[in-house]
Amino acid sequence: MANADRWLIAFLSVCFIALCGSETYTFDQNIGVAYEFKIHVDAGKEECFSQYVHPGSTFYVAFQVMRGGDGMAGFAVRHPSGQLVLPYFWKPSAEYEEQAADPGGYYHLCIDNSLSRFASKLISMYVNSFKRDKWEDYIKELEETDVTVANFTNILQTVDGRIGEMLKYQDQSRRQMSKDWSVNYGLNGKENREASKFEKFRFHLCSVFIAQFSF
């Protein structure tokens, strides 16, 4: 493959990932979904949410206590079958991952602050899921439109895996930096904006290297 073609695909891949740099983001629902939001959980309370995961899709969820009390909470994930695949433990963060959801359905994601009688908690929850079959259909559509870049299919499949890894890396970096901001600077200071610019630059730079070495 010509170097120009490689750089073109690398650029497009990085641009795709860069679009995910906001606090909350959603992809084309036909391919997958990724989002993050912050939840205020009152003292002695529990909050639960449901997320539908397409059969065979990847599934990843991460929780992080941003501030409040002892900095810990209980996190749990219940499989559509009813099985508790991530049991409750009182700790600062937790994560759960499946490479291929079987059979798919609604996953229940819970945050428990019942052990904290006086302190509310601010929790960051990040979720992403990709429909592998839909992604493969998208690749076939590109082939049917006579895309002429050699090995384009293989590169897209590689990028598919890299995107999931980079999103998880981005989430971990964002959660750690967000926690540092809330402790050291507050949530709206100038330092936050500067740190955000640096974190996004670091993530995009890492994306360039991964995309390039995938070829």
Q: What is the pLDDT of residues 107-133, one digit of tens each?
A: 999 999 999 999 999 999 999 988 877
213, two tokens: 């070495």
In tens, the pLDDT along 26-52 reads 555 567 788 888 999 999 999 999 999
Q: Are 121 and 182 in contact (CB under 8 A)?
A: no
Counting every residue written for the chain, the total comes to 215
pLDDT at 103: 87
pLDDT at 162: 54
Domain edges within the chain: 32-131, 148-189
pLDDT at 94: 96
Architecture of domain 32-131 in CATH? Answer: Sandwich (2.60)
pLDDT at 63: 96
- Cα distances (angstroms) measured from residue 188 to each of 11, 66, 178: 32, 14, 11
Residue numbers in the chain where pLDDT is lower than 50: 1, 3, 6-22, 24, 148, 185-193, 195-215
In angstroms, rounded to a whole number, what is the distance separating the alpha carbons of residues 130 and 58?
A: 5
Helix (H) or strand (E) holding 73: strand 73-78
In angstroms, rounded to a whole number, what is the distance separating the alpha carbons of residues 141 and 40?
A: 43
pLDDT at 109: 97
